Amino acid sequence: MKKHDFSKLGYSTRILHAGHKVDPTTGSHTMPIYQTSTFVFEDADQGAARFGGTDPGYKYSRLGNPNTDALAEKIAALENAEAGLCFGSGMAAISTVMFHLVKTGDHVVAADALYGATFALFEKTLKGKYGVEIDWVDTSDVEKVKAAIKPNTRVIYLETPANPTLKMADIAAISELTQGTDIKVVVDNTFMSPYFQRPIDLGAHVSIHSATKYIGGHGDVVGGIAVGYADIFKPLFADLKEIGPIMGPFDAFLLNRGVRTLALRMEKHNENALKVAEFLEGHPEVTAVYYPGLKSHPQHELAKRQMSGFGGTLSFEVKSFEKGKTLMNSVKLMHLAVSLGDVHTLIQHPASMTHAIMPKAEREASGVTDGLIRLSVGIEDVEDIIADLDQALRA
């Protein structure tokens, strides 16, 4: 087997070994933290060669660092992508990718259900400041996506499953629409992680992660990762160097450590979330549950076809904001906090928290109602999670 032929390895093995580097100086089994801003050259010729591109060695951490490179290599291998880059946050990854792919006068077909900060980036910055046309489309309907494409369309932007409604888009069918065009399909894959969904295999050009979530998994680091085709990522690296939204070496070290248990954590998240969703579906205080693992989810069959699991995050509706507020103030075990993908169970109210930046009309049109609660199900004993939810719902 070739040293880096990860395609022939099992997925859990790939998670551990892709991008793993033994320290060449000390032989350290764990990759050290290369906590340095700059790198020393052997002589002036080597410095010139590195900046000239004929020597691939490191020169300055904004331009590359062993820790971030190892992490990018690992996630690219897990997504079956040709290349990857690390960023200081998920939003840094999204914004840098979009700034690279579109310019004034270009058109973007964007999912009408997106994370609040992504909505703001598209609406206020890309559209409001830079003159990029944005059409908000129900991307769960492939025909609506097809109808929205224009001659100047450059990106179809998907979040699937969507945050926080869990609405899905058929990545393969939508990617098929771009064959023979210059349109790029960009997918926010944060909710599923590479373990349960691999957009590049389904025809997408770029897959983005808020690595803060499931890739890190422990709620102790912020970061973003994008992976995809080399012809996109070589020039994208130039933008990363110039704009500068880099990931630090210590953050990359934490993410490299956290991702090692991705398979174990995702299986437990998935197992717990399905049981919690089934419990909520039968609870008298809950009016609706959104989780693609439920047979009642309108895109359950797509979820089974497109993903190998259903993830650890779900949303549900209660009768009013006041009921939801009482619920959140009554939980004892889980944490009232934004973010997701943590080993701890996190509960929050999207309309007043993560999606408060969206105007009320657009927020409600995307499915984020005042009674919607988002639950990132952790890896605690599921009976304890359910008991805490039950007592809080009855409060």
Paired strand residues for 210:
224
Residue in the block written with tokens 């409001």:
128
Do 111 and 159 contact (CB within 8 A), yes or no? Answer: yes
Q: Are 79 and 198 in contact (CB under 8 A)?
A: yes
Q: What is the DSSP letter of 312?
A: S
Angle, helices 66-78/249-258, rounded to nearest 10 degrees: 40
Contact 285, 394 (CB under 8 A): yes
Q: 230-243 and 90-101 helices cross at what angle (nearest 10)?
A: 110
Give dist(CA 11, CA 237) in Å, integer: 27
Q: Hey, which residues are catalytic here?
A: 62, 115, 188, 213
Six-digit token string for 58 = 């490191």
The CA radius of gyration of the chain, in Å to the nearest whole number, is 21
For 62, counting Cβ atoms within 10 Å of its Cβ (0-12 exposed, 13-18 middle, 19+ buried), the class is middle
